Amino acid sequence: MDTRWLSPEELTAWVRLTAVLELLPAALDSQLRRDAQLTHFDYYVLAMLSEAPARTLRMSALAERTTASLARLSHVVQRLEGRGLLERFPCRENRRATNARLTEAGWQKVRDSAPGHVATVRENVIDALTPEQTAQLGEIAIAILHRLDPDRARSALYERYDRPTETGDRA
């Protein structure tokens, strides 16, 4: 098999994307640890619960929404539960399943943490781009996501904020 080496332009783009993938999580994590005593993943778990009906999800659904293994999620949920930010309880519909629910303290933590998190996202990503570049970033990200998720099994994760088009379809 012949290797299709990256052109200089492709290599430049790849190295820059890799740097973003390494530096951005650290920036998000740093702000949340400093201001909210949460990791970025902690915040993401709480945010996903905050968006769910009754602020409750089965652990398996929460793992899917956060793209985490059940083992990793269980560890984080146990830690957040110990802080009183969420609670676990048996699923009424399936006795073998467990639900996670955001507590009132967890909901308050999300509400208190969100402004700083959004400011960090805006400062490090959105404000660095023009509106045209933001639109391009969305298109670039979806093109890559469609390669990583060709059957779109996880599209609910990354298309949930898409705006409907004039025909009513998802953009």
Predicted local distance difference test score (pLDDT) of residue 96: 87
pLDDT at 166: 52
CB-CB contact of 88 with 77 (8 Å): yes
Q: Where are the domains of the chain?
A: 20-128
Strand, coil or helix: 2: coil
SS3 90: strand
**Which stretches does DSSP call E strand in 25-124?**
56-58, 86-90, 98-102
C-alpha span between 33 and 40 (Å, rounded): 8
pLDDT digits 0-9 by tens, 144-154? 999 999 998 88
| 106: its two tokens | 């967890």
CATH hierarchy code of domain 20-128: 1.10.10.10
pLDDT (tens digit per residue) in 16-44: 999 999 999 999 999 999 999 999 999 99
Which ranges of the chain have pLDDT less than 70?
164-171
* Predicted pLDDT of residue 79: 97
Nearest to 44 by CA among 128, 135, 114: 114
Put the strands of the sheet holding 86-90 in their side by side order.
56-58, 98-102, 86-90
pLDDT number for residue 153: 86
